[in-house]
Chain A
Amino acid sequence: MDAYENEQQRTFRDRARSWLKSNLPAGWEKGSKQEPTDADERLAFRLDWHKKLYQGGWLGLTWPVEWGGQGLGQTYQLIFNEELARHETPPMASWVGVELLGPTLIEFGTTKQKQDYLPGVLSGDDIWCQGFSEPDAGSDLFAIKGTARKIEGGWRLDGRKKWTSWAQYSKYCLVLMRTGSEKARDKALSTFIMPMDTPGLTVVETRMIDGDKEENELIMENVILPHDALVGPLNGGARVVMRNMSFARGIGTIERTLILEMILKKLRRSAKILPTPEAPAYARGEIRSRLVNLHSRIQALKYMGYRKVSEMEEGGAKGPVASVEKLVWAETNQALSRLAMDVIGAGGLLECHDLGDGTWPGYWLKEFFRSRGGAIEGGSNEIQKNTIAKRVLNVYAA
């Protein structure tokens, strides 16, 4: 084990830190770090940040050089993501594109697909979404029913997709469709690139419990795609999607863990003045104990992530800790936001109330509701436990 960065890694971190300090949006570092509340303005804000990162050469760090990346190892991506988290930077406009879709195309796409799409993914010119889940196929993804039928000149797509994040702003969607019988389950699925302006495609926003309209339904009625829209082998879509989802559980979870670390620090400060400065939550032993417990859990989670990156660096496999990491992150995220609501008391019930703790109005409430999603998206807690029991412990054959 070697917990120390080498000289190049230290230099890289210093460079990243210094670049971020000079390039964060104006007023961001010392402000409440609230993005614009209007959805369109927020997108523009994130797009602006995305383009700054791109122009600074910070996107696609692990992508091959020939596809616009830097060809660096996972540890460098880890270091950069650590710095992003510690500076509490805004999200970029096309996280899905850079972190998930890009690596998927690099692995499974044709040379033409890579040439056509990867530059726009990195630059943020093209925002991507991914259409996998359906109304009757969430955790049981291989039960999807939406079909892609081979027709003269290409493919005809019919069906509905659910929980497609950022579809309303996207230019393209990587969509998983059934290309054979339902009985064949994962052996008859394929992935396609679908331009979002294709006739026959309708996007319907879904308002979520945190008030956001991040998610969408896609309704595909006689959507026609060309032959070369297929990504990866015909009927090999399950592998493409599983690999795609494994990228989501890669470095990204570590960044999200470090964000939890930052949120806990905020909460520790808030607990000393809320719900009122005269009777702060921190004075209660139970609250202090929960704060310390979450601190320990977040530290454990962080080092679990580092171990996973070391395993990925070696050969791309994430080992048994990836599912545990996702599970613990989701549980810890929820425990943290639950504690926050207990700390702030009645003030947390008001959506537009400035608590005076440096956070923007409604911040903790939004965190509380948003944290529900972490235990569902990218494989629910139950799916993670099934995976651990089945693939790691070999106790579950169902």
Chain B
Amino acid sequence: MDFRLSDSQNRLCEKLQSLLSGLPVSDLAEPEPERAAPVEGIVIKPTAASGEMIAFYRDLAFEQWSKPEKPGDERLLNIVLACEQAGRLPLDRSLRSLMLASWIALNVQEAAILKPLLNDLAVSLGGDDMQLTPRPVFTPGKNKSGPGKISGKLDLVEGVMNASHLLLDCETAKHQRGLFLVDLKNDSLERQSVGYIDRSRRAGCVTFNDTPVHRIADNCSDVLDDVVVLGRLLTTAELLGASDALLNHACDFVRKRRQFDQAIGNFQSVAHSCAEMFRDVEMIRSLLYATAVGHQGRGIPQNQGTAAAKALASELAGNVGEKGLHLFGAEGLRWHRGLHLLMRRIKALQILFGDRARCEDVILSHWEQSNDPEAAEYVL
């Protein structure tokens, strides 16, 4: 047993950090008002993902997901580490969606078609909990296994405004769901930008009017359930990245910010807030890594383990976000300081793929189904 990151994982993190440093500001950044006092020190801006970075993530996903599963393999943890690093920045691209689509492309026979589209692909899955109204309905064509059409509305899809294609699931029969690919340039659909909490992502709603779709897979509910569990794990990784980044920014700030003739970090209440943020970040990290590593070689992580990690991360990352913002004082509330971008990301991630209550229900349901209380625990 060894619960430290391996040398290769540390090297992967270093590589990812180097790819993520010095990225350009995205065009979602809002200019400061003329003659406003410049924001000095720590400034966070919406960040544009580079082509090199997207290609690295895509290749990493294919490399890791393609590896045969075996006890002790590191593929899932490597994917988690990649999403954690991406979560540190307010990137304009969801690398989690890229990772999930890559998994689908490799695990659903007909989905290989997705591979060349991954760079500009948006993903909307029923299990991501981003829908407020019933999901669009699929109507098969004359040839039931051929293309068909969908009608209805997707209320909120991250990144859909700058994507070329959309991967979505729809109900195909009672209790059956299928996967479909839509060309977003099709005239029979309408994309509309929405005011989304995460200001570094171009989110939108999509209305379909008998929009032709490419059928990728029928009756793939099991695969989609697995994707939801994976999505939960990867959003937890992003929560870890965002909260760890906020912790680092807050610590940097309190070391330098002087009030009453000293750095404010010297005040015990401030120092203890930092310690509590560190405590919460390490709790998230501990359960997330263990969930990823504990199920290596056993396919998709068990539902309840991932749900526990997501539920805890949702709670604790929220605490870290609020404390981090507070430690900056009024400066933390200034739009162009940009801390709110990470806070906004955290709020979105708390809901994506199941909020705390939904994740807790997963664990409770598992406890209920298990007659043997010992078996209800997921032990390594």
Contact = CB atoms under 8 A, between A and B. Distances in A.
B144 interface: no
A292 B311 contact: yes
B67 interface: no
Main secondary structure of the interface of B (DSSP, over half): helix
B347 to A, nearest CB: 19
B290 interface: yes
Given A295-B308, A299-B287, A303-B286, A393 B268 contact: no
A389 B274 contact: yes
B274 A289 contact: no
B266 A388 contact: no
Given A289-B360, A292-B360, A395-B255, A1 B283 contact: no
B286 A2 contact: no
A182 B275 CA distance: 30
A19 interface: no
A327 interface: yes
Given A293-B312, A310-B4, A393 B283 contact: no
Interface string B275-291: 11011001110110110
Interface in B334-378: 357, 360, 363-364, 367, 373-374, 377
B373 A2 contact: no
A382 interface: yes
A304 B286 contact: yes
Interface in A345-375: none
B6 A397 contact: no
A303 to B, nearest CB: 4
Given A296-B287, A385-B275, A396 B251 contact: no
B72 interface: yes
Given A2-B1, A299-B287, A389-B272, A395 B251 contact: yes
B72 A2 contact: yes
A4 B380 contact: yes
Contact of B278 (A9, A265, A295, A393): A393
A309 B72 CA distance: 19
A382 B276 CA distance: 10
Contacts of A289: 357, 360
Contact of B271 (A269, A321, A396): A396
Interface string A329-357: 00000000000000000000000000000
Given A299-B290, A324-B282, A389 B1 contact: no
A100 interface: no
Nearest to A325: B282
Nearest to A266: B373
Interface residues of B, number: 51
B6 A1 contact: yes
Nearest to B315: A293
Interface string A104-145: 000000000000000000000000000000000000000000
A297 B279 CA distance: 12
Contacts of B278: 320, 324, 388, 392-393
B30 to A, nearest CB: 31
B294 interface: yes
B296 A3 contact: yes
A1 B74 CA distance: 7
Interface string A375-387: 0000000101110
A316 B289 CA distance: 22
Nearest to A75: B1
B373 A265 contact: yes
Contact of A2 (B2, B266, B309): B2
Contacts of A9: 1
A2, A75, A289 — which one has the most chain B CB atoms within 10 A of its CB?
A2
A268 interface: yes
Nearest to B295: A3
A322 to B, nearest CB: 11
A112 B367 CA distance: 56
A302 B364 CA distance: 20
A284 interface: no
A293 B271 contact: no
B3 A397 contact: no
A394 interface: yes
Nearest to A309: B3
B283 A328 contact: yes
**7 nearest A-B residue pairs (beta carbon):** A395-B265, A389-B271, A303-B290, A396-B271, A385-B275, A300-B287, A388-B275
9 contacts: A2-B6, A3-B290, A289-B357, A297-B283, A303-B286, A304-B282, A327-B275, A395-B263, A396-B271
Interface of A: 1-6, 9, 75, 261, 265, 268-269, 288-289, 292-293, 295-297, 299-304, 306-307, 309-311, 313-314, 320-321, 324, 327-328, 382, 384-386, 388-390, 392-398
Given A386-B271, A396-B274, 17 more contacts: A1-B77, A1-B293, A2-B6, A3-B290, A6-B1, A292-B308, A300-B287, A300-B290, A307-B286, A309-B3, A313-B2, A328-B279, A388-B279, A393-B275, A395-B255, A396-B271, A397-B263
